[in-house]
Amino acid sequence: MVSNRSRYAVGGTAAKASSRLALVAAIGLGGLVASAGANAQSETTDQPRGSTLCTKLPVPCDAVIAHRGASFQAPESTTPAYRLARELGADYLELDLQRTKDGELIAFHDNALGRNTDVAKVFPDRADAPVSAFTLAELKQLDAGSWFNETYPERARDSYVGLDILTLDEVIDIAEGGDNRPGLYIETKVPEQFPGIESDLRAALEARGWAGDSTTTSEPAAEGAVDVADGPGRVIMQTFSRQSLAELETSLPDVPRVLLLWLGEGGIDAAPSDPQGDTESVADYYARQTVASPEAYAEWIDFAKSHGAVGIGPSTVQQDHDGTFSSQFSYSDLAEPWMIGMAHDEGLLIHPYTVDEPVDFERYRERGVDGFFTNRPAALLEFYGRGAGDPSTILNDLGY
């Protein structure tokens, strides 16, 4: 068996020249097990591989992607979450795109409204209906902030009560509304429910000067400020759906695209495993799932590459995933060292989701990833040496 170490010891050109399929054959399943948890950088080259790759693409190196905004500190996908992320200096505001019954594009993660709005009180007979069954005017009646105060009392603020669900236009207003100009990292969420949403998005971005070669502003950003919105990587599209990736290639060919990776149903084939134990947490169950084979992983890398993606967004395991917050975002490890090597060899950037703790930033950075989706952009900015303020103080200053 050829180990990762011997494969990468030849370095840049020679390593790239070796075919990815040869890697697949060489690693074998035994190699997968042997490489799990290893440090790709020390096993492979002296340089994090992504640090040179990202300079060739219109995406910031060490990208800080604020997942649903700064959603550890404020209710996800609401104004304070996105304003805080902007003020902190995140490179991107992440949002999940859905479409209302009357055709408005909005930022909302879940397929239904029950987890983080008061839909059960306002529309009791439609509490379980999908977001797409509501008009924008109806959605604007909902309180998208109080759930946060109830779930996370230690981070609650009175000003979060009654926060609105936001439209895409309102998120763009926030991105354009400060000294920092973050880009948008937009996921087409449950795209099968929204035929044509990719072309709707194109029209919406064009209307705001966020598509194509135009710049979003005529004034240069202040020195030291984030200016992602003024460059060709101002929008990145992301999707778990192969079909949506292909649609995006047609509708938004000039916008960088990232294929999100998931293990199991609807995603990469998983190896057989024991069912979840009675006392086993979902996060622990996810953490012990592995890909069925290197070929199964390679197939998704091939699809991403063949549809013009600039990168992949793999799931990760958070080392300490037993807290009420961290356990929600800990899945299976699809950013193992050999996986990162495979994606980088194809010229794909790697933005893992959703990573919040320094111990995990360090573990995955050592493997060579190119940035992170994070609910805690303040912590990631600090980790990257770009710390720009205390979230609570900024929220106070913003009037929250």
The residue range among 3-11, 88-96, 168-176, 333-341 that interacts with Ca ion, by the rule CB under 5 A, is 88-96
| Amino acid at site 90 | A
Q: Does 321 bind ligand G3P (CB under 6 A)?
A: no
Does position 72 interact with ligand G3P (CB under 6 A)? The reply is: no
Quote the least distance from Cβ 353 to Ca ion, whole Å. Answer: 7
Residue 344 interacting with ligand G3P (CB under 6 A): no
The answer to whether residue 313 forms part of the interface with ligand G3P (CB under 6 A) is yes
DSSP β-bridge partners for residue 381: none
Q: Is 354 in the site for ligand G3P (CB under 6 A)?
A: yes
Nearest-approach distance from CB 107 to ligand G3P, in angstroms: 11
Does 377 contact ligand G3P by CB under 6 A? no
Q: How far is 230 from 216, CA to CA, in rounded Å?
A: 6
Q: Which of positions 185-204 make contact with ligand G3P (CB under 6 A)? A: 187
Cβ proximity of 231 and 58 under 8 Å: yes
Question: Is 344 considered catalytic here?
Answer: no
User: CB–CB of 381/351 below 8 Å?
Assistant: no
Residue with the shortest CB distance to ligand G3P: 353
Out of 91, 104, 118, 187, the residue judged to bind Ca ion by CB under 5 A: 187
Q: Is 143 in the site for Ca ion (CB under 5 A)?
A: no
SS3 12: helix
Residue 181: which of Ca ion, ligand G3P, none does it interact with, CB under 5 to 8 A by kind?
none
Can you tell me the distance from the alpha carbon of 285 to that of 152, in angstroms, rounded to the nearest whole number? 25
CB of 351 to ligand G3P, least distance (A): 8
**Calpha distance 297→308 (Å, rounded):** 17
Q: What is the rounded distance in angstroms from the CA atom of residue 41 to the CA atom of residue 38?
A: 9
Local structure of residue 112 (DSSP, 8 states): B
Q: What is the rounded CA–CA span in Å between residue 26 and residue 20?
A: 10
Phi, psi of 142 (to 5 degrees): -85, 155
Which of 38, 236 has the CB closer to ligand G3P? Answer: 236
Using the minimum distance from each CB to ligand G3P, give the nearer residue, 353 or 364.
353
First to last CA, the chain: 58
Contact with Ca ion (CB under 5 A) among 96, 198, 346, 356: 96
Q: Is 351 a catalytic residue?
A: no
Tell me the residue nearest to Ca ion as measured from the CB: 187
Identify each DSSP E strand in 129-193 by its residue range: 166-167, 183-188
Give min distance, CB of 336 to ligand G3P, in A. 18
SS3 186: strand
**Count of chain residues binding Ca ion (CB under 5 A):** 2
* CA pair distance 394, 199, nearest whole angstrom: 36
Tally: H helices and E strands in the chain: 18, 10
Q: Which one of the listed residues 109, 321, 344, 351 is annotated catalytic? A: 109
Dist CA 349 CA 362 (whole Å): 17
Is residue 372 part of the contact set for ligand G3P (CB under 6 A)? no
CB of 69 to ligand G3P, least distance (A): 12
Which residues are designated catalytic?
A: 67, 109
- Residues that bind ligand G3P in the complex, under the rule CB under 6 A: 67, 94, 96, 109, 187, 238, 260, 313, 353-354, 373
